[in-house]
Amino acid sequence: MPHTIKIKTTVLPGRRIEVFSPDLQEGEQVELLIVRPSEQSTHPVPMLQLVERLPEGPRSAVSWEELERALNEEKAAWER
């Protein structure tokens, strides 16, 4: 199983990145993944907007009574 080391760094002059970790051995092969935070990550999206962006599809019960009825039917099916 791969071991992950998470390091934050700053891009140096010349668009260079330097990484140091005492967990790494000289000559060891590693894989480097660079993730640039997007502008959206600094401005969280309100929960209602996230829900509105969801694709159309089956939703939960319309009312509490409908939800309880469906749950009771499911429980009854387990007991058969």
Per-residue pLDDT reduced to its tens digit, 38-61: 765 556 778 888 878 887 777 676
19, part of any domain:
yes
70, part of any domain:
no
Domain that holds residue 15: 1-36
What distance in Å separates the CA atoms of residue 32 and residue 42, rounded to the nearest whole number?
Answer: 24
1, part of any domain:
yes
Give the residue, 63 or 41, on which the prediction is more confident.
63
Closest CA to 58 of 70, 46, 44: 70
What distance in Å separates the CA atoms of residue 11 and residue 41, rounded to the nearest whole number?
Answer: 19
30, part of any domain:
yes
Report the predicted TM-score, pTM, of the whole model to 2 decimal places: 0.40
Number of structural domains the chain divides into: 1
26, part of any domain:
yes
